[in-house]
Amino acid sequence: MVIYFVFLTISAATYALFSLGLNLQWGVTGLINFGHVAFMAIGAYSTVLLSMQGVPIPIAVLVGAGLSALLGLLIGMSTLRLREDYLGIVTIGVSELVRLVAKNEAWLTKGTFGVQGYPVPFRFNPEYPVRLLLIGWLTAICGLALWRLWLWMRVESSRLISGAIAIIFVLTVYVCGALSLYTYDARAGLMLLSLTVLTVVYIGLERLVNSPWGRILKAIREDEEVPRALGKNVFWYKLQAFTIGGAIAGIAGAFYAWQFTVFPDNFEPLITFNAWIIIMLGGSGNNLGAIIGAIIFWGYYEITRTEFFKVIFRALHLDDTQQGAFRIMIIGLILMLLMVLRPQGILGKKEELTLGK
């Protein structure tokens, strides 16, 4: 059970990191990107292929993030002057192009067989003093998260319920993570690394979004003619947001590779739309909402795989394929209700919405 929760935490952290990149592009800047998974694919393939050639894993991750940022730069330079709907069409086309290249260029990406046998970080058996240091590291991260949640809950009383759920999740992560680190399991080390990177990216994005640079991005989202009239280079700011969001998705791609597998069909457009679901659940333009949305998303999928729901699915005479489709139908209904009752998402604000203006 402890290792299972560690797996769930890594998955949620990976999708939260991936969604933070999309949130910067869409939630903050208003750029519709239906091909965000392309950046994840570039980051995943670059990281594992370079690490298999002996490149240190941190450098491989940075190179993967750099290549993802370069892809964002190339896409942005040629498409960001398009209208929102045309931009969305181009980006989903680019993501499919990247997937098909990965599927057919076997000399580089191993083709449909995927990449296997690559190094994964924290695959060692540390001594007990090192394990205690890792537990202290986890304590600092979880303590920072609890402090941030406490400050956030004090702003509005309506946040008490969602904040309490988040606090329970953080405490569960800490208990399960500490137990796994003490007995030491490689996944516990990967969980610690994913939470660390997620924390750093979240803090960095919060500073950027609340800086003058971030306020210009929000102004572009609302009406780009206003910042342009004030002498701001709107295209350059859009390009920056698109590139940074791509780099963050590239880093998420490395964790995706370490957590799951690297096959071309693992980077289908559905991954991008999962990130859209996460942002709509948590709230457009809200970085904390993207993290909580990822927790809810993965919690929903894992809960519906429990024996209790399997009994319900059997009573409905659903086979395994139909069960997967039924889960998607249910989350679709939840999103429909959310769009009617609270279109800004759980933590979002109506003024942060970028669609239907």
Sign of torsion, CA 161 164 169 170? positive
The residue with tokens 């209700």 is 337
Largest CA distance in the chain: 63
Q: Of 8, 25, 132, 40, give the one whose Cα is nearest residue 79.
A: 25
Q: Please answer whether residues 13 and 254 qualify as being in contact, where contact means their C-beta atoms are separated by less than 8 angstroms.
A: no
Q: How far apart are CA 122 and CA 185, in angstroms?
A: 9
Where do runs of H (alpha helix) occur along 156-232?
160-183, 186-209, 212-223, 225-229
Q: How many residues does the chain have?
A: 357
The pLDDT score that the predictor gives to residue 156 is 61
The mean per-residue pLDDT over the stretch 99-106 comes to 91
pLDDT exceeds 90 at position 59:
yes
Average pLDDT, stretch 85-103?
A: 90
- Other beta carbons within 10 angstroms of residue 285's beta carbon come to 29
Stretch 23-45: mean pLDDT: 93
What share of the chain in percent tops pLDDT 90?
Answer: 44
- Residues 230-260 pLDDT 10s: 899 999 999 999 999 999 999 999 999 999 8
Name 233's Cβ contacts closer than 8 Å, sequence gap at least 6.
Answer: none
Coil/strand/helix, residue 120:
coil
Separate counts of helices (H) and strands (E) for the chain: 15, 0
The reported pLDDT for the residue numbered 83 is 67
Residue ranges of domains in the chain, CATH in brackets: 2-352 (1.10.3470)
Identity of the residue numbered 273: F
